[in-house]
């Protein structure tokens, strides 16, 4: 059996541990592919406003990939800690550190390839739906046509494969620095059950409540003011809720004899309590990864929809006119407008010009007209 076959066999045998990691990777790749498809879409090159939307989506993509790197680093650390006994057995049977490192690196790269294929495949399947929702949220005059751009597929695949390869080298360095005697000691060490605190549980849920209450108060002018307090409160609230809050709730259920002595809650609650204490940080990272993706998307949407509302509602002016195209002056020249104002005694005036996006205007008679804002 060669290294590739052994790596595939290990993935099958450890699928229970790899499953959440694989699905989380697929979700991140799916989100990145969807954003990348919008970023490279020809429709997003037409006006300056659309180009600003592209930059917002690029920032979202960078946030997703950055947090995904942190997530994989932590997940890799958990996998190596959980498999120390297995690695020690390989070395007892004559495998060298180079062989063990080769197996672990092959496993992670194979998981990366499968996650890329599955994540991009999901993106291709649901791309039409994503474009529909994106067009609806940004109130585009027409729905984005579905275009399967090779740049989106190739860019997403290469970016995430680079991440998986780099992190597999980090795992290799970690294994190289572990001594075999330390691996063998894992056979005789018993894991102690982690203790939780009621005060940290209350603190975590309080931070979550205050954070989301502040988030509901945020508007376009105050979004920068609320961003950091809300992010910090939700971060610590989510962490302590998973590591202490859920475990404390399960402990309270365990003290209720009426529930615990009823089948099958005795087994389910005990198993859940053990899992939450062991994997609380892992669940925290998963929830934060999802939160970052949704928050980044929501921030971009709020910013650009708020910008449209600001121009529409806050840009009061005496009169306006619309040109067809940038710097074409098909309606009339700017100098002609200024001459008319001076002619009728309006010497103190201000003018404003900007490239707009098409929107629907409705009169009090029910007539609707599509024109640029």
pLDDT digits (tens, 9 = 90+) for 312-338: 555 555 666 666 655 566 666 667 777
Q: Is residue 372 part of a domain?
A: no
Which of 129, 162, 186 lies at the terminal end of a domain, its last residue? 186
Question: Of 295, 314, 333, which residue sits at a domain end?
Answer: 314
Q: Lowest-confidence range among 17-26, 62-71, 85-94, 285-294?
A: 285-294
Model confidence pLDDT, tens digit, residues 239-264: 888 888 888 888 888 888 777 777 77
| 18, 111 Cβ separation under 8 angstroms | yes
Considering the domain architecture, whether residues 182 and 203 belong to the same structural domain is answered as no
Q: Residue 88: inside a domain, yes or no?
A: yes
d(Cα 223, Cα 214) in Å, to the nearest integer? 10
pLDDT confidence of residue 23? 83
Q: How many CB atoms are closer than 10 A to CB 189? A: 9
45 and 175 in a single domain? The answer is: yes
Paired tokens of 138: 């940004």
Average pLDDT over residues 277-292: 69
pTM beyond 0.85: the answer is no
Number of domains in the chain: 2
The percentage of residues in the chain with a pLDDT greater than 70, rounded to a whole number, is: 71
The answer to whether the peptide bond before residue 264 is cis (omega within 30 degrees of 0) is yes
Band of residue 352 on the pLDDT scale cut at 50, 70, 90: low
Q: Are 182 and 129 in contact (CB under 8 A)?
A: no
Q: Is the peptide bond before 363 cis (omega within 30 degrees of 0)?
A: no
Choosing from 314, 335, 367, the residue where a domain stops is 314
Q: Is residue 322 part of a domain?
A: no
Residue 361 lies in a domain: no
Tell me: do 100 and 75 sit in the same domain. Answer: yes
Which domain does 299 fall in, by range? 198-314
In a domain, 178, yes or no: yes
On whether both 27 and 150 belong to a single domain, the answer is: yes
- Inside any domain, residue 24: yes
Residue 164 and residue 233 in one domain:
no
Mean of the per-residue pLDDT values of the chain: 76
**326, 355 Cβ separation under 8 angstroms:** yes
């Amino acid at each position: 059996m060669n290294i590739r076959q052994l790596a595939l066999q290990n993935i099958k045998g450890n699928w229970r541990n790899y499953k959440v990691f694989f699905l989380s990777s697929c979700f991140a790749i799916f989100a990145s592919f969807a954003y990348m498809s919008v970023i490279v879409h020809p429709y997003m090159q037409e006006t300056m406003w659309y180009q600003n939307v592209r930059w917002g989506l690029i920032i979202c993509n960078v946030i997703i990939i950055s947090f995904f790197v942190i997530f994989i680093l932590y997940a890799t650390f958990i996998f190596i800690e959980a498999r120390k006994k297995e690695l020690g057995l390989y070395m007892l049977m004559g495998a060298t550190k180079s062989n063990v490192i080769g197996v672990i690196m092959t496993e992670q790269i194979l998981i990366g390839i499968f996650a890329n294929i599955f994540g991009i495949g999901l993106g291709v399947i649901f791309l039409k739906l994503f474009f529909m929702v994106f067009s609806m949220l940004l109130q585009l005059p027409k729905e984005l046509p579905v275009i399967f751009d090779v740049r989106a597929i190739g860019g997403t695949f290469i970016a995430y494969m680079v991440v998986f390869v780099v992190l597999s080298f980090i795992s290799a360095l970690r294994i190289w620095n572990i001594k075999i005697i330390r691996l063998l000691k894992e056979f005789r060490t018993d894991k102690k059950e982690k203790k939780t605190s009621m005060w940290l549980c209350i603190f975590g849920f309080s931070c979550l409540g205050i954070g989301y209450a502040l988030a509901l108060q945020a508007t376009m002018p105050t979004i920068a003011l609320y961003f950091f307090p809300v992010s910090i409160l939700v971060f610590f609230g989510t962490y302590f809720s998973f590591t202490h809050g859920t475990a404390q709730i399960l402990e309270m259920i365990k003290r209720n004899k009426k529930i615990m002595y009823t089948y099958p809650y005795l087994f389910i609650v005990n198993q859940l309590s053990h899992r939450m204490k062991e994997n609380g940080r892992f669940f925290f990272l998963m929830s934060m990864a999802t939160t970052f993706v949704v928050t980044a998307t929501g921030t971009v949407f709020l910013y650009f929809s708020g910008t449209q509302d600001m121009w529409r509602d806050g840009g009061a002016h005496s009169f306006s006119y619309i040109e067809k195209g940038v710097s074409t002056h098909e309606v009339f020249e700017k100098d002609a407008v200024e001459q008319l104002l001076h002619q009728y005694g309006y010497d103190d005036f201000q003018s404003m010009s900007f490239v707009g996006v098409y929107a629907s205007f409705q009169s009090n008679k029910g007539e609707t007209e599509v024109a640029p804002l």
